[in-house]
Amino acid sequence: MRLTLVYLGVAIVIVGALLATHHYSTTSKTQAAPPIRISATPSPLPCASSTDDGGSAMLSLPDVWPGYVSGGKQPHRYLVAPASCGQRYQTLTGEHVTVPLCDLDFPWTSGASLQPLLSVMGATDLQVMTLILGENSERVTESVLGFPAFSLAHTILDNAAACGGHETGSTWTVPSATGDILIAPIAQTSTVVAVQFDTTKISPTRQAQILARAVALSSKPA
């Protein structure tokens, strides 16, 4: 009987040692697992220079709201570098900047990818003029996108189609969360004019007139 108890005690000790070894081995494997490595994203390349000058041949407050009492404007201009800059950005960051982000305003991108996107599309110039009526939230934003050759303008029109736009004659209409975007390509100046109506009470007929005015201004020789 005493011998049996001794054997039983030895067995318990061995089993306990095995369990402890197994626990240590599992813990060791967990601790030894290699860490997850996240490669750093390079800083965006400066593919354009920008100024606060939106250009003179653009819509003004009286063009949109005749007889307005008060209002303001926010001009901006981007001079875009050659397409190679956008391609380098795309290679370094892995971002497919040619895909339009249709939830955003024209040209359907913003932030760090704005300049590379324009570069990849072949654009050389983007002029923006935002007009604000009084203290209300009504805004009209005109964008004039310039290309070295009109044959490259299809890139932005392809994005317009991808964002649900439809073509009527020579004008595109693209819906957005805050208001329609009207777009007109101008062959003689190799530009594309876009006018976005944000939370405005302007009728579709009047919107078409404002777009025609923007086209007339952009069609004038520099």
CATH code for position 61 = 3.40.1000
- pLDDT at position 53 is 63
Structure tokens at 192: 């594309």
CA distance 80 to 118: 7
> Residue 113's pLDDT is what?
72
pLDDT tens digits, 53-63:
656 689 999 99
pLDDT at 8 over 70: no
pLDDT tens digits along 88-146: 766 766 665 556 888 888 998 877 677 777 887 888 889 999 999 887 678 999 999 99
Q: Is 27 helix (H, G, I), strand (E, B) or coil?
A: helix
pTM of the model: 0.73
Average pLDDT, the chain: 75
**Is residue 35 over pLDDT 60?**
no
Span 146-181, pLDDT tens digits: 999 999 899 899 999 999 999 999 899 999 888 899
Residue 29 lies in a domain: no
When divided into structural domains, the chain yields a total of 1
**Bigger pLDDT: 134 vs 187:** 187
Give the Cα separation of 167 and 148 in Å (integer).
23
The distance in angstroms from the start CA to the end CA of the chain is 112
Is position 35 within any domain?
no
Q: Which domain holds residue 59?
A: 48-219
Domain for residue 134, yes or no?
yes
Alpha helices in the chain (DSSP H): 2-32, 61-64, 83-93, 114-121, 154-162, 204-219
